[in-house]
Amino acid sequence: MAILEDGNLAGPLRPRHAHRQWGRTGTEGHRRLDLHPDRGAACNALAEILRAKRRRGYQDRT
């Protein structure tokens, strides 16, 4: 998962994208871009997703 800045938009309301990618190893998988009003909101959304995955037993990749 990653936070991407949109370089095409300018100004204080420039949205950030939370890029998520998932799928089985060896497949193309799925991708999703979630728009957020700022970098902080995007980070918070990704942190919540990671907390939920850890509660379900997922482990961080190293």
pLDDT tens track, the chain, 62 positions: 555 555 554 455 455 777 788 888 899 889 888 888 888 888 888 889 889 989 999 888 76
Can you read off the two tokens belonging to residue 10?
């300018």
Beta carbons of 49 and 1 less than 8 angstroms apart: yes
| Assessment of whether the complete model's pTM goes beyond 0.85 | no
- Distance between CA atoms of 34 and 32, rounded to whole angstroms? 6
- Per residue in 11-28, pLDDT (tens digit) is 554 557 777 888 888 998
- Do 49 and 20 contact (CB within 8 A), yes or no? yes
Domain segments of the chain: what residues? 2-55
Q: E strand or H helix at 15, and its extent?
A: none
